[in-house]
């Protein structure tokens, strides 16, 4: 059982590391672009963005590991991965704000952990912008409405979800998914 768990862990960590490299390079390019156009993001928000990307990659790697467990070829894994990532990205608000969805769909996607990860990235990417709006005297109601419109503020059945709760949701879900993936591999080994 220990060897199997170690092998599962190696697959998971290899996938995690390769994905993190790609995502952190993309994040660095984005941050350089933001600095070149003359805008800024606070050091704290950059650190939180790094954490957000890490948690989202851990979550995505765990989810894809579970899905890929049932597939037998690289072609299947590539096809299913492409469809799943595009579909999940759309419904968790990565491509368009959830606030533009119907209220029923908004309630459904509030159960998806990726929704909260997307909101964390948006919050930490846009904090400086919202701070600047506040400093030039825009009303708080306007800023709150804008935060609602771009999914920085998320609601679970009309209850606002705070940033600490978003982190907890993402971390707990990721831990559970990793546990499920390891358990699936242990069960498969026992069958064989």
Express each pLDDT in 71-113 by its tens digit.
878 888 888 888 888 888 888 888 888 888 888 888 999 999 9
pLDDT exceeding 90 applies to what percent of the chain? 52
CB 113 within 8 A of CB 91: no
pLDDT of residue 160 exceeding 90, the answer is yes
pLDDT at 6: 60
For the segment 52-58, the average pLDDT, to the nearest whole number, is: 95
Which of 36, 31, 166 minimizes the C-alpha distance to 110?
166
pLDDT at 51: 97
Which pLDDT band holds residue 14 (cuts at 50, 70, 90)?
A: confident
pLDDT at 172: 97
- What b/e string do you get for 62-79 counting C-beta neighbours within 10 Å, with b at 16 or more? bbbbeebeeeeeeeeeee
Q: Which residues contact 110 (CB under 8 A, 6 or more apart)?
A: 154, 155, 156, 157, 161
Which of 32, 49, 56 minimizes the C-alpha distance to 115?
56
pLDDT of residue 5 exceeding 80, the answer is no
Which pLDDT band holds residue 3 (cuts at 50, 70, 90)?
A: low
How far is Cα 75 from Cα 80, in angstroms, rounded to an integer?
9
pLDDT exceeding 70 applies to what percent of the chain? 95
How far is Cα 1 from Cα 190, in angstroms, rounded to an integer?
9
- Which of the two residues, 28 and 15, has the higher pLDDT score? 28
pLDDT at 8: 62
């Amino acid at each position: 059982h220990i060897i199997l768990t170690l092998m599962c862990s190696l697959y998971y960590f290899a996938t995690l590391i390769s994905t993190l490299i790609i995502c952190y390079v993309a994040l660095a390019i984005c941050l350089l672009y933001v600095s070149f156009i003359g805008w800024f993001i606070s050091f704290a928000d950059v650190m939180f963005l790094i954490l957000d990307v890490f948690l989202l990659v851990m979550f995505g790697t765990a989810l894809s590991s579970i899905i890929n467990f049932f597939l037998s070829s690289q072609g299947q894994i590539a096809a299913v991965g492409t469809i799943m990532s595009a579909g999940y990205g759309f419904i968790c608000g990565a491509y368009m704000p959830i606030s533009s969805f119907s209220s029923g769909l908004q309630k459904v996607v509030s159960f998806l952990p990726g929704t909260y990860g997307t909101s964390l990235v948006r919050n930490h990417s846009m904090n400086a912008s919202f701070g600047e709006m506040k400093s030039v005297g825009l009303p708080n109601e306007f800023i709150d409405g804008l935060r609602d419109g771009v999914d920085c503020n998320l609601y679970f059945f009309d209850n606002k979800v705070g940033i600490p709760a978003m982190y907890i949701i993402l971390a707990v879900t990721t831990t559970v998914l990793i546990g499920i993936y390891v358990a699936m591999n242990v069960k498969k080994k026992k069958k064989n």
